[in-house]
């Protein structure tokens, strides 16, 4: 019995369609494996302008005049404060324990169900908590900030701690 032989030219003819189909399947699989790209939305106010932005259905942020921040579309969102005064209100504590992250320079905050204000100051900032708690990380040191506290900081350390009453948390909101 003689087996039919396959010529080299017929193998070459099958190689291109096979490689094309393999490439299409690989790209199709990558669509499901790779995460969707992050998009960032910028919110900005000018002199005399104030704005309220809903970050999630539960969390909103108020922007004072001359304020700029960015919000990612990740879950939970990540907020970066570029300049100005902001006031966050709402509750970011969810059942799956994903918390809102806020970045100011090299300092990071994680919301633990707080209402608070953040103000940028040259090479640092100030945070004041009206209610709830916030976790703050500076230079690999983590601390908990409670309601009624104000903390002034730069990118490497805490500069000053003091107490604050409710109306002074974000006095520009009046």
What is the pTM assigned to this prediction? 0.75
pLDDT at 4 over 80: no
Q: Give the tens place of pLDDT for each residue, 136-147.
A: 999 888 999 999
Q: Return d(Cα 25, Cα 36) in angstroms, integer.
A: 19
Q: Give the tens place of pLDDT for each residue, 13-22.
A: 788 888 888 9
What's the pLDDT score for residue 1? Answer: 55
Average pLDDT, the chain: 85
Q: Under DSSP, is residue 128 helix (H, G, I), strand (E, B) or coil?
A: strand
What's the pLDDT score for residue 14? Answer: 81
**Which of the four pLDDT bands, split at 50, 70 and 90, describes residue 109?**
very high
Name the fold adopted by 40-173: Jelly Rolls (2.60.120)
Q: Residue 59: beta bridge partners? A: 90
**ω before 38 within 30° of 0 (cis)?**
no
pLDDT at 157 over 70: yes
Sign of the Cα torsion 122, 124, 128, 131 reads positive
What's the pLDDT score for residue 140? Answer: 85
pLDDT at 97 over 60: no
Other CB atoms within 10 Å distance of the CB of residue 119: 22
* Mean pLDDT of the 71-80 span: 87
């Amino acid at each position: 019995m003689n087996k039919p032989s396959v010529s080299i030219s017929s193998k070459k003819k099958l190689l291109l369609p096979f490689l094309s189909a393999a490439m299409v399947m690989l790209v199709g699989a990558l669509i499901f494996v790779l995460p969707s790209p992050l998009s960032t939305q910028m919110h900005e106010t000018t002199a005399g302008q104030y704005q309220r932005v809903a970050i999630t259905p539960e969390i909103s942020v108020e922007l004072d005049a001359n304020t700029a921040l960015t919000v990612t579309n990740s879950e939970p969102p990540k907020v970066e404060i570029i300049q100005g005064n902001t006031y966050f209100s709402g509750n970011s504590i969810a059942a799956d324990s994903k918390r809102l992250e806020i970045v100011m320079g090299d300092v990071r905050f994680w919301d633990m169900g707080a209402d608070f204000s953040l103000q940028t100051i040259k090479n640092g900032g100030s945070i004041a908590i009206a209610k709830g708690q916030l976790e703050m990380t500076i230079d690999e040191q983590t601390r908990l900030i409670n309601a009624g506290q104000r903390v002034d900081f730069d990118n490497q350390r805490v500069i000053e701690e003091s107490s604050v009453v409710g109306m002074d948390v974000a006095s520009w909101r009046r």
